[in-house]
Chain A
Amino acid sequence: AQSVAQPEDQVNVAEGNPLTVKCTYSVSGNPYLFWYVQYPNRGLQFLLKYITGDNLVKGSYGFEAEFNKSQTSFHLKKPSALVSDSALYFCAVRGSSNTGKLIFGQGTTLQVKP
């Protein structure tokens, strides 16, 4: 069965420093991977996805993610964090090859301190 794990409940980083939010996955077949962000009292917003091709995927707000097949990881990164990046981040994987269902991780809270 498809699954995704976010090993950290919270990540703390100082403004201006690089940030990484970790995600590992388990799938049968080719993975379709996604990152979403949720700001307080808002719905989830799509950030980026990996389907195929270049292992480094660029998305919204300066975020990028690196697909690593051998480590079954899809970590979210940003070179220089902003206080406004503080939010809840979800990694997701497509449920299977014949469904549009996404399996979400439990979420990681990112705190960026000035």
Chain B
Amino acid sequence: EVQLLESGGGLVQPGESLRLSCAASGFSFSNYAMTWVRQAPGKGLEWVSLIINNGDTTYYADSVKGRFTISRDNSKNTLYLQMDSLRAEDTAVYYCAKSPIAVAGTSWFDPWGQGAPVTVSS
């Protein structure tokens, strides 16, 4: 069974940093692109970032470009999201999810992890 388990969420002050992790199991992690999607309280889904299977290419939403860094360690079956210069508007539940393909393209996301809550507040 494919499983994704996020960790690392919490409460931080504006301007601070946080790193999320997503531990994957049940599939050949190194064969698939992975993504982060967030959901602010009471709002819809917002795509954040995607990384291809070998980590060589990354993609970011305009709202986080230059502040967030996606990475992966295929030897540990783990996806990361380094979030720097956090703002109040980054407050959300952050989900990791698996793409059905190795690279970028017309892909969907399935399955999703249970989500990691991040709160940015002073």
Q: Indicate whether A and B interact.
A: no
